[in-house]
Amino acid sequence: MFRVFKYIFAASLYKKAKKHFIWLFMFIASLILFSFMIGDLISVATGFSVYALLLVKWITIPTLLALILFRVLRIVNIASNPFESVEKIEKKSVVVDEKKEKILAKERLYTQSDLIMQKYMKDK
């Protein structure tokens, strides 16, 4: 029984935070690739370029780690507030329904060309 609830929670969390999981995966992959590439470049570089590559490494890696931490915190935030996204969806659907009712309440729906013709007919 617990496994079923665990699977449902994981599936709904992935559905809600899909964009954050994708970004998290991309940042982790880029961190791994960057660390391998910069390590190889530092091993073959000489002179001043070694120091420049080290500077780039120590700026880029903490930045990627901060971005990974931010995405993990966003996923935890989404997981801890399960009803927040449901409320937002309900508010959006109410607004869409009001617009739909307003449009459907009109006697005749005009196309763009009908509106242009009405404008020029009023000017004469």
pLDDT at 82: 62
pLDDT at 95: 62
Residues sharing a CB contact under 8 Å with residue 21, sequence separation 6 or more, in sequence order:
14, 75
pLDDT at 75: 84
- Mapped onto helix, strand or coil, the DSSP state of residue 108 is coil
pLDDT at 66: 95
State pTM to two decimals: 0.58
pLDDT < 50 stretches in the chain: none
pLDDT at 119: 80
pLDDT at 16: 80
pLDDT at 90: 53
Give me the residue spans of the domains in the chain: 1-82, 83-124
